[in-house]
Amino acid sequence: MADVVLTAPATEMSNHHGKEFLGFGTCTPPTVVPSWFVKMFFYPKVKCRNGEVVEAPYGLRKIESILIDEGFDVVTVHPYDIERYLKDAKVVGISVMDPLGFGPVSVTFSAILGGDPSTRIEFINLIKKIEPYRGRVKVIVGGAGAWQFEWDSYWKSKIDCIIIGEGEYVVADVFRRALRGEELPKVVRGRPTKVEDIPLIKRPSINGLIEISRGCGRGCKFCSETLKVKRDIPLENVVKEAEVCVRETKGVILHAEDVLLYGCKDPKFVPNEEKVVKLFKSVREVSEYVGVSHCSLAAVVAKPSVVERINEVVGVGEKVSIFGVQTGLETGSSRLMEMHMHGKCLPFHPNEWCDVVESAFSIMHENRWVPASTLIVGLPKETESDVVKTIELVERLRDYCSLIVPLIFIPMEVCALRRERAFTKENLKDYHYELMAVCMDHDVYWVDKLFREYFKGYKNIPIKLGYWVFSRWVKKSWEKRRREIKAFMKSLVGR
Ligand code: SF4
């Protein structure tokens, strides 16, 4: 049995039925739907072999790789199986995205539906399992959501050491000290890692997600990536990680804050088309399916040809029906763009933002790319007029197949606006409800087509049927209540 046990909350230790986008559903509070439903449809337990998970969150795989290289005896397990390993373990390392439910998606879902998000529930369940062993087992937490402990002293007290920021230069030392039984600093801040010091993963990540760039460079003040320098991972390392993943996964997902900016050195963020196409071609040689996580709308408009060439490489419209990508629409207000995210529009000007968004949606629609776009409600200094402009922008996008999701502004500890006041559901005004209703109208309008395309060829019939019933229920409930929008939204918020 190993000294070091690595794990993550059950909401993250899942491949979401091989559909990465369904991972958003893990932020759902078990209120309008029961917890078994959320678990079954959004985070089924990932496959295990000889007690270890076959796929694990990418960040956890990086930590695992460092610890193995440093000679630690490590196992990576599902949290539901962890008790079997705790009697021999000395250290537990937990990777977290949203441990306490303070992330924007969780806060928004909880404000609308009431209750705690499943992400928080599963993290707390995990800590409760470890609790009886705390006398001799040290608990170290890290990952994109580690900052959340700064907002909750109770749960912070349950952790021996919280690693905030990039882990590469600090992880081995912290785990070594923990194994020796030393007192650990409560918070350790990792500094940016040089590209040559970023290790390769040794085992497959969830859904084959692999990092192609770290950081962003556009500098939006509300975003956790703002404080990171952008670095591109060398192509040969990306391909090697893809080869590791496809041993278990159907394909790979290229992850970056903006996949279209891979290899880009242009200060105005115009994509380097040849670098991007070469990336996709190289990965496509080792993986049958290649997906992406995020891209920016401005990059799509700055270089539409790159979208077309990616489609040729990955087979969109042939072997792949649609190409999903997450992107940030943020606001329809050029004033807020100028104030909080000037760089997001580059190479365009904030005054052009609404046209850039519509052009990007149009290009993506023609190329069968489906943006799952988020926008922010309650940015500092937001006025009613800003929200009205966002409503107008969302209405302009009706003809483009997409999802638009409003998220409440959260001044995360790792962003430039961290000293701003938190926006709570009590701050929601009628015009915010109207914006949410317009987004819901948009999503319901596209839900049938999206369901058909997203699940085309999907073999798990019970799950597919379950999602179909769920999408019917959402659509019917919304159509029934559309006339009472304000009362409806307010009643939901009041729950
Ligand atoms: S473009 Fe996206 S990832 Fe980059 S700083 Fe802005 S919000 Fe963050």
pLDDT tens-digit readout, 2-32: 999 999 999 999 999 998 888 888 988 888 7
Q: Which atom of ligand 1 is nearest to the CA of 257?
A: 3
Select from 213, 214, 224, 225 the residue to mutate for testing ligand 1; criterion: most ligand atoms less than 8 Å from CB.
225
Q: By CB neighbour count within 10 A (0-12 exposed, 13-18 middle, 19+ buried), where does 335 fall?
A: middle
Alpha-carbon span 96 to 144, nearest angstrom: 6
| 372 contacts 405 by C-beta, under 8 angstroms | yes
Residues of the chain with CATH 3.40.50.2300: 4-190
Average pLDDT value for residue range 376-381: 94
Token pair listed for 60: 């956890």
Confidence of residue 363 (pLDDT cuts 50, 70, 90): very high
Position 493 pLDDT exceeds 80: no
Dihedral sign from CA coordinates of 157, 5, 195, 225? negative
Question: Which pLDDT does position 495 carry in this prediction?
Answer: 46
| 93 contacts 6 by C-beta, under 8 angstroms | yes
Please tell me the class of the 4-190 domain. Answer: alpha beta
Q: Which atom of ligand 1 is nearest to the CA of 224?
A: 8
Question: Which pLDDT does position 488 carry in this prediction?
Answer: 54
Dihedral sign from CA coordinates of 168, 172, 173, 174? positive
Write out the H or E segment, with its range, that includes residue 142.
strand 138-142
Helices (H) and strands (E) in the chain, counts: 17, 16
Confidence of residue 455 (pLDDT cuts 50, 70, 90): confident
Select from 211, 213, 214, 216 the residue to mutate for testing ligand 1; criterion: most ligand atoms less than 8 Å from CB.
216
Confidence of residue 63 (pLDDT cuts 50, 70, 90): very high
> 184-215 burial, b for 16+ CB within 10 Å, e for fewer?
beebbebebbeeeebbbbebbbbbbbbbbbbb
Position 35 pLDDT exceeds 80: yes
Confidence of residue 477 (pLDDT cuts 50, 70, 90): confident
Select from 226, 262, 327, 353 the residue to mutate for testing ligand 1; criterion: most ligand atoms less than 8 Å from CB.
226
Select from 218, 258, 341, 356 the residue to mutate for testing ligand 1; criterion: most ligand atoms less than 8 Å from CB.
218
For all residues of the chain together, what is the average pLDDT?
92
Residue 220 vs residues 26, 228, 328, 386: alpha-carbon distances, Å: 26, 11, 11, 17
pLDDT digits (tens, 9 = 90+) for 251-305: 999 999 999 999 999 999 999 999 999 999 999 999 999 999 999 999 999 999 9
Average pLDDT value for residue range 190-194: 94
Position 369 pLDDT exceeds 60: yes
CA of 84 to the centre of ligand 1 (A): 41
pTM: 0.93
Q: Which atom of ligand 1 is nearest to the CA of 344?
A: 1
CA of 472 to the centre of ligand 1 (A): 34
Instruction: Give start and end residues of each alpha helix (H) in 131-234.
Output: 153-157, 171-179
Q: Which atom of ligand 1 is nearest to the CA of 341?
A: 6
Beta bridge partners of 376: 407
Spell out which residues line ligand 1, taking CB within 6 angstroms: 216, 218-220, 223, 225-226, 257, 296, 328, 341, 344
Average pLDDT value for residue range 423-431: 84
Give me the percent of the chain exceeding a pLDDT of 70.
Answer: 97
Position 168 pLDDT exceeds 70: yes
Closest CA to 289 of 330, 246, 327: 246
